[in-house]
Amino acid sequence: MNKVHDATSSYIKDNIPDFSSGDSVAVDVKVREGNKERIQRFEGVVIARHRKNGLDGTFTVRKVTNGIGVERIFPIQSPMIEAINVKRRGKVRRSKLNYLKNVTGSKAARIEEKR
């Protein structure tokens, strides 16, 4: 295991904030269209973290736009992620919030803020 850790430690980003399921985050993603590059912001609630540490860690963000739920899975160590900003800490009792997929309307935003 130490050889794997030594080989991958040089690729791991240091500027990743500590966040977990239930937190509201804004992810700035680099989008390349033709030969232009711009930053696109995706704001929503983190509903899952997969493999929290390491190069293969991902997190899933869900938001509701015009009544349609949109989910995106982001690799944490991706060079396309410019920044991850934690807007609000959520108080939840589950690590995977898949039940939010079935909830509609304002009930999806009913996650209490952590004090």
The domain in which residue 63 lies consists of 2-103
pTM: 0.86
Measure the CA–CA gap between 71 and 12, rounded to whole angstroms: 25
Asked if the structure places residue 111 within a domain, the reply is no
Q: How many domains does the chain have?
A: 1
Best CA proximity match to 47, nearest among 84, 115, 94: 94
- What integer pLDDT is reported at residue 1 of this predicted model? 64
CATH number for the domain harbouring residue 30: 2.30.30.790
Asked if the structure places residue 115 within a domain, the reply is no
Least confident of 11-15, 60-64, 104-108: 104-108
pLDDT single digits (tens) 57-83: 999 999 988 888 899 999 999 999 999
Q: For residue 105, what pLDDT band results from cuts at 50, 70 and 90?
A: low
pLDDT over 70, % of the chain: 94
Coil, strand, or helix at residue 77? coil
Residue 28 in this model has a pLDDT that exceeds 90: yes
Asked if the structure places residue 113 within a domain, the reply is no
Measure the CA–CA gap between 110 and 93, rounded to whole angstroms: 13
Asked if the structure places residue 110 within a domain, the reply is no
Least confident of 6-10, 15-19, 64-68, 106-110: 106-110
Residue 12 in this model has a pLDDT that exceeds 70: yes
What is the C-alpha end-to-end distance of the chain, expressed in Å? 38
Best CA proximity match to 47, nearest among 112, 95, 109, 111: 95
Asked if the structure places residue 114 within a domain, the reply is no
Give the CA count within 13 Å in the CB-facing half-sphere of 42. 20
- Dihedral angle sign, alpha carbons of residues 22, 86, 45, 66: positive
Residue 100 in this model has a pLDDT that exceeds 90: no
